[in-house]
Amino acid sequence: MARPPTQFPQFSSVGDVEKRLSEAGYLPDAQISTTVFLADRLGKPLLVEGPAGTGKTELAKALATATGSELIRLQCYEGLDEARALYEWNYKKQLLRIQASQGTDGADWNTVHDDIFGEEFLLARPLLTAIRRTEPTVLLIDETDKADVEVEGLLLEVLSDFQVTIPELGTVTATRRPMVVLTSNATRELSEALKRRCLYLALDYPSAEREREIVLSRVPDLAPGLAEQLVRTVRALRALELKKSPSISETLDWAQTLLELGLDTLDESAMRSTLGVVLKHASDQVRAAAELRLN
C-alpha cells in the first residue's frame, strides 16, 4: 500500500464537499459527497460507474472547479496504448536532429544520443502530464471500460505508485499526487485488481427530489411546477423498459427545449412534439407513446 507522494486533503468534511461541489454547479447526494470525501482523504482513485448521462464526467469537472485544480483528461478508446496515454518520443524531431548534426563533425555519438532523448523530444501524454504537475490536478480517465485490458495494467502501475519509468530519462515521481477519477459505463467488467485499488461509486439516476433541484439549478428560468412535472414524466419513462432510458443530461435538454418553445405545461401534444429530445430510438418512442397514452 504505497501512497508515497503526499497531498494535502482538499476537503475538510463531507459537508464541505457538498457545499463546494454545489457551488461548482454540481448537486451531489449523500453517497456522492461521502465517497468523494473519502477519495480525497484516503488518496485513492475514485471509480465512478453508471449508465450514460448520469453525471460521471460532470462530477470530475465539478471536482476540478471546486478544488481549483486543472482537469487533465484521458479519453479511453479501443486501441489506446502507452504512446497515447503516457508518453512518446517525438521521432520526427529526433530524426531531424540527427540529420542536422550529420554534417558537423563535432557532434559525437554520445552528445547526440543524450540530446535526442532529452526533455525537448518528449511528448508528454495525459498520464505523465498529470504526474509531473506541481499544481493541484484532477486526472479524469474517461470511459475506462472502452480501453483494452492491457491499458488497465498500465493504469494499475501508474495509479498505485504515481510514478513512471522512462528508460532513457529515469523515473518520474509525482511531486503532488493528482486526484484521480475513473469513469466506466460498465460495458465490460473492469479487472478486480483495478477495482480493488479504487473507491467504488455507483451512480444511478437521481431521486425525484434531487433531479428537480438539478433541473432548477441548471435551467433556472424554468417554472418550478413544470420542473416537477418534467421530472415525474422522465421517471415514468425510465420505469418503462426502454432501450436507452433518458439520462440527466437529456432531462436538462428537455427542460431547455420546453423553455425555448415557451411551453408552460407538459401535456400530450407538447410531449409528442418534443419526445425526440429524450428518446433517441424509434422503438423507444413508439413504446413510450403507447404506454403513456400519447395518442
Partner 1 sequence: MSAPARFSSTEPGGLTGHLDGFVRAVREAGIPVGISQAVDAAEILTVVDLLDREQLRHGLAAVLLQRAAQRPTYDVLFDLWWPLSDRPAAGGDEDGEDGEDREDGAAGESTLDLPGADDPDLAELMRARLLQLLLDGDDEALRRFARAAVELLGRAQPSPSGQSFFSYRVLRALSPDTLVSQLLAGLLAEGDRGGLAEQVARQTVKERLAALRAAIEAEVRRRTAAEKGRDKVAKNAVRPLVDQVDFLRAQSSDLAELRRAVAPLARRLAVRLSARRRLGREGRLDFRKTVRASLGTGGVPVITHHRPRKVHKPELVVLCDVSGSVAGFSHFTLMLTQALREHFTGVRAFAFVDTTDEVTRFFRPGADVVDAVSRIGREADVVGFDGHSDYGTAFEVFADRWASAVGPKTSLLILGDGRTNYRPPGIPVLADLVRRSRSAHWLNPEPRRLWGSGDSAADRYGEAIDMVECRNAAQLADFVTTL
Query: Which residues are at the interface with partner 1 (CB under 8 A)?
Result: 1, 13-14, 30-31, 34-35, 37-39, 41-42, 44, 49-50, 78-79, 91-92, 95-96, 99, 148, 186-189, 192, 195-196, 199-202, 204, 207-209, 229, 232-233, 235-236, 239, 241, 266-268, 271, 281-283, 287, 291-294
> Rounded to the nearest whole angstrom, what is the least distance from the CB of residue 94 to partner 1 in the complex?
9
> Rounded to the nearest whole angstrom, what is the least distance from the CB of residue 133 to partner 1 in the complex?
26
For residue 250, give the H/E element and its range.
Answer: helix 248-261
Residue 248, C-alpha cell as written in the block: 440527466
Nearer to partner 1, 169 or 208 (CB): 208
Q: Helix axis angle, 109-116 relative to 91-102, nearest 10°?
A: 160
Q: Give, in order, the Cα–Cα distances in Å from 57 to each of 79, 94, 254, 259, 265.
A: 21, 37, 20, 25, 31
Between CA 28 and CA 36 the distance in angstroms is 10
Q: What are phi and psi of 279, to 5 degrees?
A: -115, 125
> Rounded to the nearest whole angstrom, what is the least distance from the CB of residue 10 to partner 1 in the complex?
14
Nearer to partner 1, 127 or 194 (CB): 194
Between CA 58 and CA 54 the distance in angstroms is 9
> Rounded to the nearest whole angstrom, what is the least distance from the CB of residue 64 to partner 1 in the complex?
20
| 28: DSSP letter | -
> Rounded to the nearest whole angstrom, what is the least distance from the CB of residue 126 to partner 1 in the complex?
22
> Rounded to the nearest whole angstrom, what is the least distance from the CB of residue 134 to partner 1 in the complex?
26
Nearer to partner 1, 129 or 229 (CB): 229
Nearer to partner 1, 20 or 133 (CB): 20
Nearer to partner 1, 94 or 249 (CB): 94
Between CA 155 and CA 294 the distance in angstroms is 49
Nearer to partner 1, 15 or 171 (CB): 15
Cβ-based neighbour number of residue 195 at 10 Å: 16
